[in-house]
Structures are given as C-alpha cells and as structure tokens.
Amino acid sequence: MMKFEYQVCQVQGSKVTFVNGKFQSDIHITGAVDPASMDSAMESCPSVWKYLNKVGREGWELVTSGVMSTSDEGSLQILYLKRAV
C-alpha cells in the first residue's frame, strides 16, 4: 500500500504564507509587529507559482484547493499537496 505525506498551504494575495502552520517569510517576526514590518514579511513569502514549481521538483503534487472564509480578511485560498513517501 502506498503511503503519502501532505502539505496544507495558506495563500494570501498571491503569496504562500503558511505551510503546515509554519510562516514562510524570510523575515523572522516575534512579539508585537508594526504594519510595515508585517507587510515586508508578507512580501518576502514565495509567490504561488514559484512555490508550486519548487515543491513540484521535490515530488509534491497539487491535489486540490479550496477557499476558507475569514471574519476580517474576506477569504484565504488553501492548497492541498501530497507526495509518496
């Protein structure tokens, strides 16, 4: 029987911001954050197409996607990926 591992990716705007709950920014943020710092952190997250191309070369396959409603931001796109282990 084949076994798989999975990634759940959160997309905000055109950026992959979280993968399995881990923030994808190159900028490390701790504590209270001013909006400008948060904008910089979000901008440093990978774009969807760059992220999918990168992980595709590592064997990850996009299985499906969906939209999750949020109370203040409107909605987030969620990407579900898998690869054989």
**Per-residue pLDDT reduced to its tens digit, 3-57:** 999 999 999 989 999 999 999 998 876 666 666 677 888 899 999 999 999 999 9
- Sheet with 22-23: list strands edge to edge: 22-23, 15-19, 4-12, 74-84, 61-70
pTM of the full structure: 0.84
Alpha-carbon distance of 69 to 60, in angstroms, equals 26
pLDDT of residue 68: 87
Q: Collapsing DSSP states into helix, strand and coil, what is residue 32?
A: coil
- Residues 54, 80, 72, CA angle at the centre, nearest 5°? 105
Q: Would the pLDDT of 58 be above 90?
A: yes
pLDDT of residue 46: 96
The distance of Cα 84 from the centroid of its chain, to the nearest Å, equals: 20
Assign 73 a pLDDT band (cuts: 50, 70, 90): low
pLDDT of residue 30: 65
Q: Would the pLDDT of 63 be above 90?
A: yes
